[in-house]
Amino acid sequence: MERIKISVLSGKGGTGKTTVSVNLAKTLKESFYVDCDVEEPNGYLFLNPEIEYEKDVNVLIPEIDYDKCTLCGECVKACRFGALTKLIKKILVFDHLCHSCGACYEICPYNAIREVPKKIGTIRKGKVDTLDFIDGRLNYGEATGVPILREINKMIKDVAKPVIVDSPPGTSCSVIHSIEGSDFCILVTEPTPYGLHDLDLAVQLVKEMNIPMGIVINKAGERDELIEEYAQKEGIRVLAKIPFKRKLAQAYSTGKLLIEVDEEIKSIFGRLASDVLGLIKK
Amino acid sequence: MKVAVSSQGKTLESHVDTRFGRAQFFIIVDTETMDYKVVDNLAVAQSSGAGTRAAQTLLDEGIEALISSNVGPNAMEVFKAAEIPVYKAVDKDVKTNIELLKKGELEKITEATNHGHHHHW
Amino acid sequence: MKQIAILSGKGGTGKTTVAATLSTIVKNKIMADCDVEAPNLNIILQGEIVEKYDFYGKETAVIDKDKCIECGLCEELCRFNAISNFEVNPYYCEGCGLCMYKCPVEAIKMVEEKTGHVIYAKTKEGEKVVYAELFPGADGSGKLVTEVRKKAKEVAEEEEYLIIDGAPGIGCPVLASATGVDLVLIVTEPTLSGFADMKRVMSAIETFKVPVTVCINKWDLNKEVSEEIENYCEQNGIPVVGRINFDETVVKALKNLKSLKDYPESVAYRQILDMWENIKRILEERAVTQ
């Protein structure tokens, strides 16, 4: 099977992005689940993968070689993030202000800057039956998971099966990094005014990136028209409605897959999977 | 002694600016002669690392003490490393603060007053 | 002014519902919505906009086509793959300036980029709400959070509390939401994800040395996990200040854009009232010991 990338996103957090991602990945059987919500990676709780390996994600930060440094201060002037400060006898480096852009390294006239790795997170790769699994995890105190997302993107570039990407919440640049190159985006929302507000932000983002998309209404059953009217106005298909049931909320709470506890949900995901694959082929 | 004061205006009568990295101006005062020089805080317009950049500007001016408030942890680390004492400004004008410093009545700050600036802040 | 940050780690645990309900309970406060990527608080508070201004959160490289000799050096040097075919992708550009420094013909300059709006609003009751909207795809949400808090302080007069509806996750915007506050309230839910994310956000803000409290929303949804959360909190000396039932009224209120105050008899509303008493007590005890 050829590689297709399907990204699941939501704008608002907690609408059921991970629920849709893991259940869809499991429904597809021969697929690749990728958790790009590196601040709160939770897909593993539902899939229980066997981890095959784990690797560090590093960024490069400058280190000054004082045998060569003349304290000319060119690096300090070049750094637009204030990560370097020149004192009388040394250059102070602030790791957590550094963006690893390499400007100081490139600018230094005396070759006095080395770049050394600093760990900001990890990527785990594993398997559950025929399903491949990857998740990224940002270390505490680190500001951005984008370098982890870049690394994950490299790992899934040549995968020969459908890739389901569980994206970060929100609409910031890390969402862009996780959904870039997608063949299709599934936008998960809930039928509340908040869900609608945040869905609209996500729709704007996906439109900007020219990726085809469809909507899944989670916790559906009451006031669904809120989302349906919006979808119609925007010309976006509502692909599926996942009904709200207390039983499902409870299954979720213990890390169970909804398709394994409810026949109705199982057939909803079956249809969702074939609809999305069908839409991509067109 | 050369002392920098974060300030909202350009004279000794100006009110102190309670911010450090994002202060409008620094007034650098010679405490013996009360001569002063105004330095525009160029870091104020910078989107990142305003604290450390403002600190660098003052180091380059060769200050020996700073009067301000709300100094973040990065800038505080710079002043500590450079052995420049930081004093907490009282909510008055620049001149009053200098006089209080001369009398030894300003409180010295050793810890950052806010948890500051991270990567993308 | 006492600052309280409401966090959750995981999204959708009820952070904004708790914040919005507190805003009807607590008098003499300012509300700040620091979830700048999905600002929902004012949707329910319905404050009228008093002031709205642009926020410039980042620099972006711009190539002057007339000067560019298409040598490709910038593309080769850029660590963020932000330049291809002599054009800058603003979503990828970090604003580091390396391309500008190295361009042999000075064809590149850095320009401040608008990344969002900051909004100051007032409700019918004259209460203040500050929030922001990050433009979709923009970088630097943490900086925008800092700006929201700055604006809230600026418009503050005699208010006793600043209640911050924080960002989800554990990254920069969360740290920016919680830095320097007097108390953190983590709203969690008894699900494995909710529990895992609560622990992650606690670890992320550990260095702030701020008193942390926990509210278990929908606590009767899965009492086993609720108990695990309670045990974990007890072992770590973190007070569980609120337990809110899985109450259909909350869902009804959410769907109809109502505040829980409109359902004063509901279990959830009364539980949030109790929670606020607990929070106030902790803040007072803390004020005494200091």
Q: What is the pLDDT of residue B113?
A: 60
- Position B34 in a domain: yes
B79: domain CATH number is 3.30.420.130
Query: What percentage of chain A has pLDDT greater than the value 90?
Result: 90
pLDDT, tens digit, 9 for 90 and up, residues C262-273:
999 999 999 999
- Position C127 in a domain: no
The shortest C-alpha distance from B60 to chain A (Å) reads: 9
Q: What is the pLDDT of residue B114?
A: 58
Contact status of B103 with chain C (Cβ, < 8 Å): no
The shortest C-alpha distance from B22 to chain A (Å) reads: 13
User: Looking at the structure, do residues C32 and C103 belong to the same domain, yes or no?
Assistant: no
DSSP assignment of C242-263 equals EEE---HHHHHHHHTT--GGG-
C91: domain CATH number is 3.30.70.20
Domain A4-57+120-281 = CATH 3.40.50.300: yes
Query: What percentage of chain A has pLDDT greater than the value 70?
Result: 99
Please give, one letter per residue, the 3-state secondary structure of A36-71: CCCCCCCHHHHHCCEEEEEEEEEEEEEEECCCCCCC
CB contact under 8 A, A144 and B119: yes
- Position B98 in a domain: yes
Nearest to A12 among C38, C167, C192 (CB): C38
- Position B119 in a domain: no
The shortest C-alpha distance from B48 to chain C (Å) reads: 8
Which chain A residues contact residue B43 at CB under 8 A?
A: 82
User: Looking at the structure, do residues C161 and C224 belong to the same domain, yes or no?
Assistant: yes
Quote the ipTM score.
0.92
- Position B78 in a domain: yes
Nearest to B120 among C139, C207, C208 (CB): C139
Helix A263-281 / helix A17-28 crossing angle, nearest 10 deg: 80
> Could you tell me which residue, A171 or B111, shows the higher pLDDT?
A171
For chain B, what is the mean pLDDT? Answer: 88
The shortest C-alpha distance from C139 to chain B (Å) reads: 8
CB contact under 8 A, A97 and B78: no
CB contact under 8 A, A170 and C96: no
Which chain B residues contact residue C208 at CB under 8 A?
A: 115
- Position B70 in a domain: yes
**Residues in chain C with pLDDT values less than 70:** 290
| Dist CA C26 CA C125 (whole Å) | 13
Domain range spanning residue B36?
Answer: 2-109
For chain A, what is the mean pLDDT? Answer: 95
DSSP state of A11: B
Residue B84 and residue B32 in contact, taking contact as beta carbons nearer than 8 Å: no
Q: What are phi and psi of B21, to 5 degrees?
A: -60, -35
- Position B114 in a domain: no
Nearest to B47 among C143, C175, C179 (CB): C143
Q: Is the pLDDT of residue A13 over 70?
A: yes
CB contact under 8 A, A80 and B48: yes
pLDDT band at A178 (very low <50, low <70, confident <90, very high): very high
DSSP assignment of B8-47 equals SSSSTTSBBPS-STT-SEEEEEETTT--EEEEE-GGGG-S
Ranges of each domain in chain A: 4-57+120-281, 66-111
User: Looking at the structure, do residues C30 and C155 belong to the same domain, yes or no?
Assistant: yes
- Position C132 in a domain: no
C174: domain CATH number is 3.40.50.300
Nearest to C172 among A80, A140, A143 (CB): A143
**Structural domains in chain C (count):** 2
Q: Is the pLDDT of residue B119 over 70?
A: no
User: Looking at the structure, do residues C198 and C102 belong to the same domain, yes or no?
Assistant: no
- Position C62 in a domain: yes
**C42 closest CA partner among C162, C113, C139, C131:** C131
CB contact under 8 A, A143 and B119: yes
User: Looking at the structure, do residues C171 and C256 belong to the same domain, yes or no?
Assistant: yes
**Residue A244, SS3 per DSSP:** coil
User: Looking at the structure, do residues C26 and C77 belong to the same domain, yes or no?
Assistant: no
- Position C119 in a domain: no
User: Looking at the structure, do residues C280 and C145 belong to the same domain, yes or no?
Assistant: yes
Tell me how far the alpha carbon of residue A186 is from its chain's centroid.
13
Q: Please name the residues between 132 and 151 in chain C that touch chain A, using a CB distance below 8 Å.
A: 134, 136-139, 141-142
Which residues, in sequence order, are CB contacts of A234 under 8 Å at separation 6+? Answer: A203
pLDDT band at B35 (very low <50, low <70, confident <90, very high): very high
User: Looking at the structure, do residues C185 and C284 belong to the same domain, yes or no?
Assistant: yes
User: Looking at the structure, do residues C104 and C152 belong to the same domain, yes or no?
Assistant: no
Q: A66-111, which class in CATH?
A: alpha beta
CB contact under 8 A, A82 and B51: yes
CB contact under 8 A, C192 and A192: no
Nearest to A144 among B50, B53, B120 (CB): B120
> Could you tell me which residue, B44 or A225, shows the higher pLDDT?
A225
Contact status of C60 with chain B (Cβ, < 8 Å): no
| Dist CA C231 CA C242 (whole Å) | 15
**Structural domains in chain B (count):** 1
Which residue is closest to A201 within chain C, CA to CA? Answer: C136
- Position B19 in a domain: yes
Q: Please name the residues between 32 and 61 in chain B that touch chain C, using a CB distance below 8 Å.
A: 45, 47-48
Count of other CB atoms within 10 angstroms of residue C102: 16
Q: How far is CA C57 from CA C83, C134, C153, in A?
A: 20, 10, 19
- Position C193 in a domain: yes
Tell me how far the alpha carbon of residue A61 is from its chain's centroid.
24
Nearest to B121 among C112, C146, C207 (CB): C146
Domain range spanning residue C268?
Answer: 2-46+138-289
Residue A90 and residue C106 in contact, taking contact as beta carbons nearer than 8 Å: no
**A205 closest CA partner among C39, C91, C52:** C91
The shortest C-alpha distance from B89 to chain A (Å) reads: 24
CB contact under 8 A, A172 and C37: yes
| Dist CA A34 CA A125 (whole Å) | 9
Q: What is the pLDDT of residue C116?
A: 96
DSSP state of A264: H
User: Looking at the structure, do residues C39 and C77 belong to the same domain, yes or no?
Assistant: no
CB contact under 8 A, B50 and A85: no
CB contact under 8 A, B120 and C142: yes
- Position C124 in a domain: no
**Residue C33, SS3 per DSSP:** strand
Amino acid identity of residue C264, one-letter, is P
pLDDT, tens digit, 9 for 90 and up, residues A93-122:
999 889 999 999 999 999 999 999 999 999
Tell me how far the alpha carbon of residue C277 is from its chain's centroid.
23
Q: Is the pLDDT of residue B68 over 60?
A: yes
Nearest to B120 among C59, C112, C143 (CB): C143
Q: What is the pLDDT of residue C290?
A: 65
The residue-averaged pLDDT of A147-164 equals 94
CB contact under 8 A, C110 and A144: no
Least confident of A134-138, A236-240, C30-34, C145-149: C145-149
Q: What is the pLDDT of residue B121?
A: 37
The residue-averaged pLDDT of A16-43 equals 96
| Dist CA B70 CA C149 (whole Å) | 14
The shortest C-alpha distance from C12 to chain B (Å) reads: 25
DSSP assignment of C170-213 equals SSHHHHHHHTT-SEEEEEE-SSHHHHHHHHHHHHHTGGG---EE
Burial-class residue B16 by CB neighbours within 10 Å (0-12, 13-18, 19+): buried
> Could you tell me which residue, C62 or B118, shows the higher pLDDT?
C62
Q: At which of C114, C130, C151 does a domain end?
A: C114
The shortest C-alpha distance from A172 to chain B (Å) reads: 12
| Dist CA C214 CA C14 (whole Å) | 12
CB contact under 8 A, B120 and C146: no
Q: Is the pLDDT of residue B117 over 50?
A: no
Amino acid identity of residue C193, one-letter, is S
pLDDT, tens digit, 9 for 90 and up, residues A184-223:
999 999 999 999 999 999 999 999 999 999 999 999 998 9
Residue C8 and residue C167 in contact, taking contact as beta carbons nearer than 8 Å: no
